[in-house]
A and B are shown apart, each in its own frame.
Chain A
């Protein structure tokens, strides 16, 4: 299983499934990361975490631990 955490900078990944549950999962989905959407990995913060991604035309910052619950292809 490949997750958003493993995706490389400059890569565009398509979301397959969201793992986890409750508040965190809902929050990720509320922000527009849902099944089938394309996520572009823009950059990593200077200290290595979090990552900045582009989704649905805007910039979003997400921690690597959270990116791990997003399955992509």
Chain B
């Protein structure tokens, strides 16, 4: 076996790259992250070639230095230098797809172009002259249909062959002044760079690409000299260097298209156009959107999702596995603590992540279909107006919707948001929407206070939404989320039928990633909580104890003073809140146990006196409810968040933010609300509540310190000069 060959798969988003990657590597894939970032990295062995690795680069439109995906791809191509690049190009969208090609051919790496969706191109009656295109671009061109699997193997073979022998020399040239400057740059600075890479670097230096300039560390004198050439070209062509290059690439492609591409019915509507005409119609778009979202919600959250989750949790684990194992252990005479360790600690810990898996699979099935068929981009298109006001993406709608069922798949659903900041902000705030497990808590407090007023639950959803909006406004102005707003120049891809294989593979990948990464953390956390909740020191002896003597209760008592200003500084209330970290529905059962009522599932009038011990006043009960709505979510959601955030800093920031926010909300409601209702007297805590209110108002209303509108015109002037 010779040297390992590396082939990079590069192409625009929506060009069928994932489908091609799946077809090339089959199930032989490894999914991870690019070092240091949350951009997904996939590689796999080429079918029938054990010594060929296919590296799937993120879908990109360009090799600019501005987006994370582009920088990741660039770094890989420039520093790792794969043996060949297989560039997948959407044949139905040739002009824009070839723009990336013109950049890839400059890298000095052999390039093979696979023109995808040839079946659709032919069906439309359009023609692409492959030979002509190949001659013009200086690299081999293969026709394929990744979905149907035609030409895929030929494309791969061509890439392998190119890796072994061919060289790709960029055939297109820029205009006179640009070439002049590039020649000078190569001469002045790039002597140390291998000849085949010189053109790439020279063009990037001409574009004043910050990342490349920082990497090369050019002496100031040379830089000044180069700058003169660039300035001369800019003056002659009346534009900035970066725009000149971009412009000339497209001009070149336009001439290329004239010779190589014949469109049969220009101006005629394609089936995709017809679908879009209805789906994003001014009047129909919102009702259709509401309908689709209702369907997703209804199936994945209300009906099928609940059924499978309940079955896994209650029947599979609750009725079969746990009692079965427990009975077995009792029969063989195992000690009580061993029984508890195995059944509640280990199996209970395993059940938690596995219990989420089926619902996760359903949610991802929908997301993947929506993404694949092209509707997800339309969701962003329709909802952008609403969400960008709070610094979120239109695609944030879906995580919020799913979170009203369960925050775990909700957080996972934020993966569809491309922009890292938008995605992190969505993850941080999406669990403020009450999930299914919080409903029993709402019902309990509603029962206790208002005789089960029906409007309590809608009220909580409503306050959840308000908290999300206010948090986003505050967060957007913080330094951690500062920076230029993400441009929303987004492609609306053609509608097409999703590939079943692709969708299923995607679902499997997501669920497996969840089980592997979030599942491990969750398992450990559940085991720890089980230990704290079941063990303690009773009558001076360490061992398995009743809940009220457990370590959890002791910790609850120890930190109860923190919650005094919120009105529920009793150890029972605090211990109940703590148990909410395992699962929010645990709050109700812990309250039942601690109040001496035993297993409680819902509130009954007869329980009023026992619960009154928890909350001295009714406003304290409201404060307790609000705190448990908005503090950091259950361990499952926290584990998912820690994996999906992809950054320790952001993760701990999120946890801190959520708990501080919950505390602040409860403090304000209890102290200020209590004062108004006359339930409590003015105290230092009330003063603190007013201070917090003032701070919140300041954070909400202050001018965005990271925006410098006055700087923009100046800079623009510098460019138009």
- Chain A contact residues, CB within 8 Å of chain B: 18-32, 34-37, 43-50, 52, 56-63, 66
- Contact residues, B48-70 vs A (CB, 8 A): 61-62, 64, 66-67
Given contacts A30-B246, A52-B381, contact A46 B488 (CB under 8 A): no
Interface size on B, residues (CB 8 A): 47
CA distance A25 to B239 in the complex (A): 12
Whether B95 contacts A49 by the Cβ 8 Å rule is: no
Q: Which residue of A lies closest to B63 (CB)?
A: A30
Whether A50 contacts B246 by the Cβ 8 Å rule is: no
Given contacts A29-B243, A60-B492, contact A44 B250 (CB under 8 A): no
Whether A45 contacts B280 by the Cβ 8 Å rule is: yes
Given contacts A21-B715, A31-B61, A52-B492, contact A46 B487 (CB under 8 A): no
Cβ of B386: which chain A residues have Cβ within 8 Å of it?
Answer: 47
Whether A45 contacts B385 by the Cβ 8 Å rule is: yes
Whether B377 contacts A26 by the Cβ 8 Å rule is: no
Whether B488 contacts A61 by the Cβ 8 Å rule is: yes
CB<8 Å pairs between A and B, sample of 19: A19-B716, A21-B715, A26-B246, A27-B66, A29-B246, A34-B247, A34-B251, A35-B239, A45-B381, A45-B382, A47-B386, A49-B385, A52-B492, A57-B95, A58-B494, A59-B492, A59-B493, A63-B388, A66-B488
CA distance A47 to B281 in the complex (A): 11
Whether A46 contacts B382 by the Cβ 8 Å rule is: yes
Whether B488 contacts A63 by the Cβ 8 Å rule is: yes
Nearest Cβ distance between residue A48 and chain B, in whole angstroms? 6
Q: Any chain A CB within 8 A of the CB of B236?
A: no
Whether A23 contacts B489 by the Cβ 8 Å rule is: no
CA distance A22 to B377 in the complex (A): 25
Q: Which residue of A lies closest to B384 (CB)?
A: A50
Given contacts A19-B716, A29-B246, A31-B61, contact A47 B488 (CB under 8 A): no
Cβ of B67: which chain A residues have Cβ within 8 Å of it?
Answer: 27
Cβ of A63: which chain B residues have Cβ within 8 Å of it?
Answer: 384, 388, 488
Q: Any chain A CB within 8 A of the CB of B490?
A: yes
Whether A62 contacts B286 by the Cβ 8 Å rule is: no
Given contacts A30-B61, A43-B282, A49-B384, contact A66 B487 (CB under 8 A): yes
- From the candidates B276, B487, B493, B716, name the one contacting A27 in the complex (CB within 8 A): B487
Whether A37 contacts B385 by the Cβ 8 Å rule is: no
- Chain B contact residues, CB within 8 Å of chain A: 61-62, 64, 66-67, 93-96, 99, 239-240, 242-243, 246-247, 250-251, 276, 280-283, 285-286, 377, 380-386, 388, 484, 487-494, 715-716, 719-720
Cβ of B488: which chain A residues have Cβ within 8 Å of it?
Answer: 50, 61-63, 66
* Most chain B CB within a 10 A radius of its CB, from A56, A62, A66: A56
Given contacts A52-B492, A59-B491, contact A34 B246 (CB under 8 A): yes
Nearest Cβ distance between residue A60 and chain B, in whole angstroms? 6
CA distance A59 to B487 in the complex (A): 16
Nearest Cβ distance between residue A35 and chain B, in whole angstroms? 6
Nearest Cβ distance between residue A66 and chain B, in whole angstroms? 6
Cβ of B490: which chain A residues have Cβ within 8 Å of it?
Answer: 60-62
* Most chain A CB within a 10 A radius of its CB, from B243, B384, B489, B491: B489
Cβ of B61: which chain A residues have Cβ within 8 Å of it?
Answer: 30-31
CA distance A66 to B96 in the complex (A): 20
Cβ of B384: which chain A residues have Cβ within 8 Å of it?
Answer: 45, 49-50, 61, 63
* Most chain B CB within a 10 A radius of its CB, from A18, A28, A46: A46
Whether B243 contacts A46 by the Cβ 8 Å rule is: no
Nearest Cβ distance between residue A58 and chain B, in whole angstroms? 5
Given contacts A34-B247, A50-B488, contact A27 B93 (CB under 8 A): no
Nearest Cβ distance between residue A64 and chain B, in whole angstroms? 10
